Structures are given as C-alpha cells and as structure tokens.
Amino acid sequence: MTEAETLRVAVAQIAPVWLDREATITKVTQWIEGAANDGCALVAFGEALVPGYPFWLERTDAARFESPTQKALYAHYLDQAVDVGNNGLYRVQEAAADHGVHVVVGCIERASDRGGHSVYASAVQIGNDGRILTVHRKLMPTYEERLAWAIGDGHGLVTNPVGPFMVGALNCWEYWMPLPRAALYAQGEDLHIALWPGNVRNTADITRFIARESRSYVISASALLRRADIGDTIPHAAQIRESSEDVLANGGSCIAAPDGRWLVEPVADAECLIAVTLHHGLVRRERQNFDPAGHYARPDVTRLVVDRRRQSTVEFIDGSDDIVL
C-alpha cells in the first residue's frame, strides 16, 4: 500500500484543567505538538474538553429552580466557554498550523450568533493550515446536559478531506441517532471521530458497531476527570468534590477498523497519546459488500433531508442608506 493511502492519527486522552479555558487550551496545544512529534497528521480530543464537561450537574441538585448554586456555576461556565467565532481557539489554530496537524476538539461554545449567553457542546475541526473548517453543535443534549447546554443544528453535519480520508465528527449520544450518521455517510465519510466526555461503558460497544455499520474507521476520543482535578477556584468546589467519586470519567478512547476489529481497545485511567496508522485500502475492501450510501442504499424508497442552515432567532432586513428626495 502506498504512503499516499495511509494516515497516522492519534487520540489525546487527557483531563482538562477543569473549567479553566486558557489553561486547558495550553494543555491541548502541548498535546498537539506531541502528536506531531509522533508523525500524526490528525489528533482528536474528547467532548466538551475545553473547558470541561458539566459534571457538577448530577452532583449538586442541578434541577432545582432558581438555585443560587446553579446560577453561580453556570455563570462561571459561560465565562470560561469558547467564543469560536471571535478567535476563541486561535492558540489551537496556531498550533495546528505550526505543526501541520488536523485537529478535532470538543469545546463548550459561547455562541455570539445566538446572543452570547447560551452554550453548545461543539465538535470543532481545524485544518492543518489553522483554519476552522467545521463547528458542529450537538443536536440534542443528553438528559442532565439539557440543564446547561442549548440545542444545536445541522450546520456542522459536514465532512472534510484529510489525506486519503473524508472525516466527520459527532458528539457522544448523537451516536444513538441514526440519521445524523447517515448524513455523514452520504458525504463520503470513511473516518469518523466520535467525541465522548469519557467512560469505557460508553465506547466499548458502539465504536465497533459504527465501524461495522459504516465500513469506516472510527476513533472514539474520550477525556478523563478525577476528583483531584476539581480545583478550588471553581464555585462550590468543596460541595462538588464531596459528592463526587474518585473518578468521574475514566477515558475509554479506542479505535476500530472498517471490518469492526479493534485496532486499539478502550484505554482507561491514563492520560496518553494513542496513535495508529490507518490504511485506506481497507475501507475500499469492506465497501465491496456493503456501502451504506452507495450500492446498498435505496433512495427510491427512503431518503434523508438535512437542513444545514445555522439556526437563528432573528433575520434583519435593512433598508438603503440612500436618501431619496
């Protein structure tokens, strides 16, 4: 197999500096450099890594209405969220360009195009030239996440070329939603990045299933969080630590091949760089008997309609500045 048909990829399974945006971004840039030093052309990080997953929700009675505790924590979360549209990831972009690495990173996006005071769990793809290619806002936050995150839209259901592969990404329980997966398959996806907040129980089964269903490589990128990672500067830190187990997220990053075999089984309880070399020829071989958007599709019977417009609450129609006498 020629070098042009291969791609070396990595998962950076790390813990954030929880709820500290700039410190976490510093850590992300360091791991991008590490992936580049290992010869990787792509590196993926877990869901909501910058500045972190809202683990406080189920540990602080988050559904209580008008709770001063929840208001303080949300205000801090909003302050530490990333304004992607206003260069909030510029240091990650610079690292991607400096090292020539395609980066997929989960962040909590403070969306200025929606007023700037709601946050989305967004999977961001950054090209090896530093350009932001795709910002996919999680379509439906899961269970308690709805107390912190807003509902996304289809704007980020896009694939991007990286070497011989077409790369798409979704967040966490979006993998239980067949139609968003189908939208990516239809755009030629053959390398899927599955972002998770972290835990082997989430990644152990579905990673191989998606690989087998799509006949694609699947990288599940997870994060870690331990009670010791809950810093004193976080509002109500003592209460969160007191109600938390020693390990809140144990990782579970893994990589499956298009035939469903493990290339790397789920890795738990360790910050590490997981790197492998992928061969595009295996995708082509596995598509011989099943291609979900090609010869095994029946568009005459079932078709998917995808609205990729970025949703907004307002449309401004301004008049001409010319004065007509």
- The Cα–Cα gap between 263 and 277 comes to 10
CB 214 within 8 A of CB 192: yes
107 is catalytic: no
Provide the H-helix boundaries in the chain.
Answer: 21-37, 68-80, 90-99, 178-185, 200-214, 237-242, 280-286
User: 217: number of CA atoms within 13 Å, CB side?
Assistant: 26
Structure tokens at 172: 């966490």
- Name 89's Cβ contacts closer than 8 Å, sequence gap at least 6: 25, 50, 82, 105, 107, 124, 126, 132
Query: Chain-centre distance of CA 52, in angstroms?
Result: 12
Structure tokens at 58: 């189920």
- Nearest Cα to 99, choosing from 40, 45, 166, 164? 40
Q: Kindly write down the DSSP assignment for every residue of 276-300, as one continuous string.
A: EEEEHHHHHHHTTT--TTTTT--TT
33 is catalytic: no
22 is catalytic: no
- The Cα–Cα gap between 136 and 122 comes to 5
The catalytic position among 27, 40, 107, 172 is 172
CB 246 within 8 A of CB 226: yes
The catalytic position among 27, 138, 174, 189 is 138
The catalytic position among 47, 109, 174, 286 is 47
Residues with a known catalytic role: 47, 138, 172
